[in-house]
Chain A
Amino acid sequence: MATNPTDKIMFEKPWSRLLWIKQKYPDNYTDPHFIHFMEKMKKRREGPPVIDYDFSQIRKDILKFYNIFLNSCFIYISFTLIYYYRIDARYLAGTVTLITMIVSTHKDKELTSLLNVKSSLIIIFTLLTLSPILRSLSMTTASDSIWTVSFWINIIYILTCATSSLSPSPHEEESKIQEQSIFYDINDHSNNKPSNLATNLLLANVAMLASRLDTTTDVFCFLLTAIQVNIILPRIINISHKKVATISSMIVYMFVGITIGYRITMIFLFLSVSYTVLVPRLFHYWQINYRRRDYEILDLWDPRTPMVDCQ
């Protein structure tokens, strides 16, 4: 310390806590800022909690899971209708397409940006070409195993889809405007798109289920319905909106009530209500009382993994 190396260093590049950069500092160098930082953290810990956890944000995030769950229920509803109740798949697909058309005429300029003619042609021809193959593929596989695989894929789908769009929009006012409107601004790519993995999982689930259907038409119509309900519509409509959520809840509960029975529907209802009401409160409580508040230290002072320049 006699030569006072800190003085020298002041004029050089400031030390940064990055292991993969060669710096002109000794290996055992301790940044003087570290002590200041620790003292600041200590003071903050002793005082009242500074961060005010936003309860409404938590509730919104929790509800997102629920909404995606409701949305994915439509796959099973349409599948049950075609596979078990043997309704004509063409009518179902036609109805859903009509709804999509109506919704999209509301914002038809954006629809063309989302799905241009080339893409839709490719999708339709892909479905037409591959649906007979899909149908014949899993002939030898037992139905039970398909149900199990579908169940697990769906769970992974809900988790990935919800977590990939969890983080709140950086501009609060914009996001508030967005939340209040039923329709998304499609040109805004910030928040309303689930990750590729989620979309793929959904498609995989749908394709697995479709391979159980009897005729090629059924397969085609089912795939078309599922893609519209679960991929295209959520990109146009805000499924977290109150009206949309209420309508989809009503449809799902009605369907469960009619097909399975009212007792189970009641249990189902009770579970979902407790989830939407209790879980956010519990989580908020945990955040205020039990959450570590020194994660900032870990965030700043722990060796981070190098970022390889991703796009």
Chain B
Amino acid sequence: MSNYIFWPSELLRKEISISDQVLCLVAIKLKETDYVVISIENFSSSSSKELLNSLTSPYSVIGVRDMNGDWDISLPGFTIVEFEIPKFKLMEFYSIEPISLILSEHEIENNKVFQKFPNIEKIMGYERYQCKNYQLNNTIDIINAYTANRYAFHNTYAQFGHFEDDAMSIIGIIRKWYTSTAIYRGLCFVLYMITMIVCSLSYSGYIFIRNGIPKILSLSSTAKQIDLRLQQICYFPIQFIKINQSKALEETIPNYQEQRSNSNSVRAKEAPYKYYPDYIRFYNTLWLIVNDISFGLMLGAVLKDNHDLIINSLSEVVTTTLYDKMINLTYVLANNPFGIKLNHELASFLSELFYWIIEFSYNSLIKFTSDKEKLSVFLKIVTKISCVLGASFAISLVIDFFSLLFFHLYLFYHISRKLYHWQLNTLISLFYLFCGKKRNVLRKRIDYDYFELDELLLGTLLFIILTFLMPTVLSFYASFAVIWVSTVYIHVILNSIVSLINHFPLFAFLLRIKDPKRLPGGIILSPKHHKNGRIILSLENSPLKVNNMFKPFSYSMNKMKEYYFSMKTFKSLLGGSPIMIQMNEMYDVLYLWLPEEPMSIQETMTQLKECLPRKTEKLE
């Protein structure tokens, strides 16, 4: 097996700059890792030679360079891999797997490929498909903690080199002093109290929405929006705790002398960069909320400027489309539309029914809402909410307003669909009877059967009657289904705007543009140049792919496509199966950023309390 020596490019440059000196290569190697070069030391003086030879595991000298600049490396068949030291402060790191922007607990069910194969988990559990070799992963862990590792080395062997300790800037000193004062602690406590109050309020709001009003979440998008925001607020402290932990971990120095008793294992779980996705998620959510509010301010300004125009046009549109046009349509359907002669009795009965519903909804709802004064009040409310809470809330309110207004359209659709569905099914079974066949329920197929004359007579007469009535029902169903489906599409478009505002990966996207190393989507090992007849590989970050970043979003888009723009939808439309607004399905994707259940308030409180600065604590 060939050995890999991971050599930071900084040290490579250093090695080249120091000529005519005897140098040696100090590397760190834990159990199941490759060598990672940690330092290049002067090997000329005898005292340093002695010290270097006394290095204990995990450190060792793996090579010596003579005066001519030729390396003599004591490993058989080695390959040098060059890498840039990830800047810890800037949260850069390497990762073999692309980092996940959604919570890992949602991963499997989110993946479409996994959904197709229900046995995938069993297959994944099979030992053949399990990776046993974690050498590269562990090495990457060391590289990610490179700065800390080097610091640890210099701490243990203070004689070597001189590690440039960060000269503390004035701001740093002030910060250090400030954090130790009582004012800071008091302020932290006040902030903690405020956070706790807000959190408990939102938690109880969340509980109220979930349990207090049943089914409201699947009916109202405003409720859904409120629920989402409350859950986000509940999750903020937990995210904050996680990020804080990672910061604390950054500052700890790995002490391998102690760890040796723990069989040199790299505690990968505690590696601070594992919490970086949390950081990204946290700031993404925050940024989206701010973004939402700024959009809301824009929207509010537009609404306010065009207040009168909107009110006038909206009132007219509502009365014409929802009342006048509906009455027109019902009238046309009752009186031989397009010259198709429908059954007069049934058509007039149905149109009477729909007239009645239209009148009822007009008197109870449309008349009220199309009133200009009331509309003006509503628009003012929407404008204010848009300015204060954000555009998503305003749009959700508009969606709910329209779903209330469209209710009688839904009733029309529902009634005609039920009729159509019932009639179609009866016609199909009567057609089987007509052909002398019968549905075999036990074997789920159509079998021949012998029928008596009276059965045949009754069946055939009913079949003929239903066939004659079918065009009437079909025309009513078709026209109302088209209207309903178009309202569903309006809903879907508005809802997708809301979900776009709510979970566009804005922060991740900007981060990707600013510093792709912070969003690793894997690593690339590529040959860089030759040196002394050897190929030097270079380890590079391959940044997260843009379509990977939009994975949850594209997933929800696919779901929407499947629900509303697919052949299946068309078939269920033909068969008279209901087409509904799948509120839950559309919003599912939003919750991928959140845990399934928010943590209880007590637990959050205790965890957050631990993060508070304490009086007795001595800051280093």
Which residues of A pack against B, CB within 8 Å? 115, 118-120, 122-123, 126-127, 130, 133-134, 136-141, 195-197, 199-200, 203-204, 207-208, 211, 227, 231-232, 308, 310-311
- Residues of chain B with a CB closer than 8 A to A196's CB: 433, 435-436, 449-451, 456
Query: Nearest B residue to A164 by beta-carbon distance?
Result: B436
Expressed in whole angstroms, the Cα–Cα distance for A119 and B457 within the complex equals 10
- Residues of chain A with a CB closer than 8 A to B342's CB: 140
Chain B interface main SS type: helix
B447–A310 touching, CB < 8 Å: yes
- Which of B185-193, B304-312, B458-466, B493-501 makes up part of the contact surface? B458-466
User: Does B403 make an interface contact (CB < 8 A)?
Assistant: no
Expressed in whole angstroms, the Cα–Cα distance for A311 and B465 within the complex equals 30
Expressed in whole angstroms, the Cα–Cα distance for A270 and B456 within the complex equals 37
A137–B468 touching, CB < 8 Å: yes
Decide yes or no: A119 and B436 within 8 Å by CB, A207-B460, A311-B449 being known contacts. no
A203–B448 touching, CB < 8 Å: no
Expressed in whole angstroms, the Cα–Cα distance for A207 and B468 within the complex equals 11
A207–B464 touching, CB < 8 Å: yes
- Residues of chain A with a CB closer than 8 A to B176's CB: none
Expressed in whole angstroms, the Cα–Cα distance for A252 and B537 within the complex equals 102
14 A-B contact pairs sorted by A residue (CB < 8 Å) = A118-B454, A126-B457, A130-B462, A134-B461, A134-B465, A137-B343, A137-B468, A141-B468, A196-B449, A196-B456, A200-B456, A200-B459, A203-B456, A311-B448
B318 CB → nearest A CB, Å? 35
Decide yes or no: A200 and B433 within 8 Å by CB, A130-B465, A133-B465, A140-B343 being known contacts. yes
B459 CB → nearest A CB, Å? 7
Query: Nearest B residue to A310 by beta-carbon distance?
Result: B448
B341 CB → nearest A CB, Å? 4
A203–B460 touching, CB < 8 Å: yes
Which among B343, B436, B453, B456 has the highest number of chain A CB atoms within 10 Å?
A: B453
Number of B interface residues in the complex (CB < 8 A): 31
A119–B453 touching, CB < 8 Å: yes
Which among A140, A195, A227 has the highest number of chain B CB atoms within 10 Å?
A: A140
8 Å CB contacts to A: which residues of B315-347?
A: 336, 341-345
Pick the contact of A200 from B448, B452, B460 — CB < 8 Å?
B460
B426 CB → nearest A CB, Å? 15
Decide yes or no: A122 and B445 within 8 Å by CB, A204-B434, A204-B460, A207-B461 being known contacts. no
- Residues of chain B with a CB closer than 8 A to A311's CB: 447-449
A199–B456 touching, CB < 8 Å: yes
Q: Which 3 A-B pairs have CB atoms at the shortest separation, nearest pair first?
A: A196-B436, A140-B341, A203-B460
Known: A119-B453, A200-B460, A311-B447. 13 other contacts (CB 8 A): A115-B453, A122-B457, A122-B458, A123-B453, A123-B454, A126-B461, A134-B465, A137-B464, A141-B468, A199-B453, A204-B434, A310-B448, A311-B448
User: Does B219 make an interface contact (CB < 8 A)?
Assistant: no
Proximity bits, B259-286, A CB within 8 Å = 1, else 0: 0000000000000000000000000000
Expressed in whole angstroms, the Cα–Cα distance for A196 and B451 within the complex equals 7
Expressed in whole angstroms, the Cα–Cα distance for A119 and B453 within the complex equals 8
User: Does B469 make an interface contact (CB < 8 A)?
Assistant: yes
Expressed in whole angstroms, the Cα–Cα distance for A311 and B449 within the complex equals 8
Expressed in whole angstroms, the Cα–Cα distance for A100 and B454 within the complex equals 17
Expressed in whole angstroms, the Cα–Cα distance for A267 and B460 within the complex equals 36
- Residues of chain B with a CB closer than 8 A to A207's CB: 460-461, 464
A137–B465 touching, CB < 8 Å: yes
Pick the contact of A208 from B453, B457, B464 — CB < 8 Å?
B464
Which among B341, B435, B454, B456 has the highest number of chain A CB atoms within 10 Å?
A: B454
- Residues of chain A with a CB closer than 8 A to B344's CB: 139-140
B453–A231 touching, CB < 8 Å: yes
8 Å CB contacts to A: which residues of B436-452?
A: 436, 445, 447-452
- Residues of chain B with a CB closer than 8 A to A200's CB: 433-436, 456, 459-460, 463
A142 CB → nearest B CB, Å? 8
Query: Nearest B residue to A137 by beta-carbon distance?
Result: B468
Expressed in whole angstroms, the Cα–Cα distance for A134 and B450 within the complex equals 26
- Residues of chain B with a CB closer than 8 A to A134's CB: 461, 464-465
A197–B468 touching, CB < 8 Å: no
B472 CB → nearest A CB, Å? 10
- Residues of chain B with a CB closer than 8 A to A118's CB: 454
Query: Nearest A residue to B460 by beta-carbon distance?
Result: A203
Expressed in whole angstroms, the Cα–Cα distance for A199 and B459 within the complex equals 11
